[in-house]
């Protein structure tokens, strides 16, 4: 039972353009969402997060949008740079549960930004 899904295994974008990575979830109890970036043979690096009380959070080139009614979130990267090429994971937390801090991850999307 995949509670967090990233349906696009890969995405290819030209440098300078916008990258949009998508994530869907099924558990309506999730109320905190995160995006991580991962290079091969390294650990994931936290990028940006959003609480369910918001619908948008922005940090530099990265913006996360949350649509609670659709159980959908997306990460926008503008402008995309070759160094953004990595695997991106979305994750979700049920903060109302007893397991504080426990995250459920999607399968990841490989982003390739071409010069």
Residues that bind other proteins (CB under 8 A): 4, 6, 9, 32, 34, 36, 41-46, 49, 51, 89, 91, 93, 95-96, 99-108
Q: Please state the closest distance from residue 102 (CB atom) to other proteins, in A.
A: 6
Closest distance to other proteins from the beta carbon of 108 (Å):
6
Contact present, 19 and 80 (Cβ < 8 Å): yes
Shortest spacing between CB 114 and other proteins, in angstroms: 22
**How many C-alpha atoms does 92 have within 13 Å on its Cβ side?**
25
Q: Answer yes or no: are the C-beta atoms of 79 and 18 closer than 8 Å.
A: yes
Residue 70 in tokens: 């659709």
Give the nearer residue to other proteins in terms of CB position, either 74 or 104.
Answer: 104
Nearer to other proteins, 3 or 81 (CB): 3
Contact 6, 92 (CB under 8 A): no
């Amino acid at each position: 039972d995949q509670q967090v899904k990233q349906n696009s295994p890969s995405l290819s974008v030209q440098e300078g353009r916008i990258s949009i990575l998508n994530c869907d979830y099924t558990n309506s109890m999730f109320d905190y969402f995160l995006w991580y970036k991962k290079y091969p043979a390294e650990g994931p690096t936290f990028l940006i997060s959003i609480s369910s009380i918001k619908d948008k959070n922005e940090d530099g080139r990265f913006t996360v949008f949350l649509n609670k009614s659709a159980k959908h979130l997306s990460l926008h990267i503008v402008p995309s740079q070759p160094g953004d090429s990595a695997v991106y994971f979305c994750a979700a937390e049920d903060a109302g549960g007893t397991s504080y801090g426990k995250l459920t991850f999607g399968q990841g999307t490989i982003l390739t930004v071409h010069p």
